[in-house]
Amino acid sequence: MISLEAHAKINLSLDVLNKRDDGYHNLRMIMQTVQLHDTISIEKIPSGVEIDCVASYVPNNSSNIACKAAEAMISKYNLNAGVRIKIDKRIPVAAGLAGGSADAAAVIKGINTLFNLGISQNELMETGSTIGADVPYCIMGGTALAEGKGEELTSISLLKDVPILIVKPRIGVSTAWVYKNLNLDKIVDRPNTEALISAIQNRDISFIAQNMRNVLESVTVIKHPIIKKIKKNLLEEGAIGSMMSGSGPSVFGIFDDKNKAISAYNKIKKSKNECILTFTI
Ligand code: ATP
């Protein structure tokens, strides 16, 4: 039996460059792992893949992405056994925090360890890319530039211990819907990705907070104006910058001081929205 933490991510920037012939978009995003995590335990069983995941809106059967990851590992490496996976879900679902991808990544890494396969991280990331575009990043973790569909990764120096307050309205957003409704010709406010990378290297938190941009935000905000309200609320409560993560609807605020983040958390948690205080890792 092995137990692993499957960490959520936030986007410090998200740019969509163009649409590809395969239907996906070419992206340019800065990804950041946070302490918030699901806990995954994996044990060997004689055969098959069993799942135990009791959480709203998450399948408790073979369509759970964690099962798909396990099946991919078992068939790719001809493993002569199966696994039982238990997911203790804490990452909000369909929230732009890559919760499913994080679980899949943990299962891939966990099976590598549990079966003593000794497979390199690069090869695990290759397997991950067959499961989902964000899975390779979740295997790698940390602070990274993600390009292509999200699977072409370059590490950036780590931006550790920055207080982050995640606020998620009690709605789910379909990533597919957001991309379908994105008009590439109408994007006006793109991130300056290079400037943000330099700011990360210099740990210039205030530049990062003020220059974070997510081109998907305007699409999701039209359907869910509450996102704009949450952004404003986070700034009023002391965040030095706030932005939607991924395709939403989670919004996060960056703080330059842990105590300010705690006091904002204590106020915002009284709202109807889910509120999580976490830190970058
Ligand atoms: P991303 O940021 O990568 O777009 P997300 O955070 O928006 O991801 P997820 O939480 O990964 O979204 O969930 C997307 C969908 O995947 C949900 O509709 C959910 O039912 C399904 N799903 C399958 N397996 C899982 C899992 N292990 N955890 C969460 N969702 C899962």
Question: Which atom, in ligand 1's list, is nearest to the CA of 174?
Answer: 7
97 lines ligand 1 (CB under 6 A): yes
Question: Residues 18-69: pLDDT tens digits?
Answer: 999 999 999 999 999 999 999 999 999 999 999 999 999 999 999 999 999 9
Smallest CA-to-CA distance from 252 within 270, 272, 281, 273 is with 273
Question: Same structural domain for residues 17 and 119?
Answer: yes
Q: What is the pLDDT of residues 135-194, one digit of tens each?
A: 999 999 999 999 999 999 999 998 999 999 999 999 988 889 999 999 999 998 999 999
What pLDDT sits at residue 66? 98
Helix (H, G, I), strand (E, B) or coil at 269: coil
If asked whether residues 28 and 143 sit together in one domain, one would say yes
In this structure, the answer to whether residues 174 and 242 fall within a common structural domain is yes
Is 70 within 8 Å of 104 (Cβ atoms)? no
CA of 172 to the centre of ligand 1 (A): 10
Q: Are residues 54 and 117 in the same domain?
A: yes
Atom of ligand 1 nearest to the CA of 248: 7
CB distance 96 to ligand 1 below 6 Å:
yes
Question: Is it true that the peptide bond before 249 is cis, omega within 30 degrees of 0?
Answer: yes
| 77 and 195 both lie in a single domain | no
Is it the case that residue 121 has pLDDT exceeding 90?
yes
Q: Is 278 in the pocket of ligand 1 (CB under 6 A)?
A: no
The secondary structure of 135-189 as a DSSP string is HHHHHH-SEEEEEETTTEEEE-----S-EEEEEE-S----HHHHHHT--GGG---
Residues 50 and 150 grouped into a single domain: yes
Instruction: Please choose from 16, 36, 58, 175 the residue to mutate so as to test ligand 1's pocket, defined by most ligand atoms within 8 A of CB.
Output: 58
- Same structural domain for residues 145 and 242? no
**Pair 148, 180 in one domain:** no
Same domain (yes/no): 14, 111: yes
Residue nearest to atom 23 of ligand 1 (CA): 64
Residues with catalytic annotation?
Answer: 9, 134
- Give me 31's structure tokens: 């990804």
- Among the listed residues 90, 133, 127, the one whose alpha carbon sits nearest the alpha carbon of residue 107: 127
Query: Residue 197: what pLDDT?
Result: 98
For residue 148, the model assigns a pLDDT of 96
Residue 97 annotated as part of some ligand binding site: yes
User: Residue 250 sits in a domain of what CATH number?
Assistant: 3.30.70.890
pLDDT tens digits for 204-261?
Answer: 999 999 999 999 999 999 999 999 999 999 999 999 999 999 999 999 999 999 999 9
Q: Which domain-ending residue is among 105, 136, 155?
A: 155
Q: What pLDDT is stored for residue 172 in this prediction?
A: 84
- Provide the number of structural domains found in the chain: 2
Rounded distance, CA 6 to CA 35, Å?
Answer: 9
What average pLDDT is seen over the chain?
A: 97
The maximal CA–CA distance of the chain, rounded, in angstroms, is 56
The CATH number of residue 36's host domain is: 3.30.230.10
Q: Are residues 210 and 134 in the same domain?
A: no
pLDDT in tens, 188-212: 899 999 999 999 999 999 999 999 9
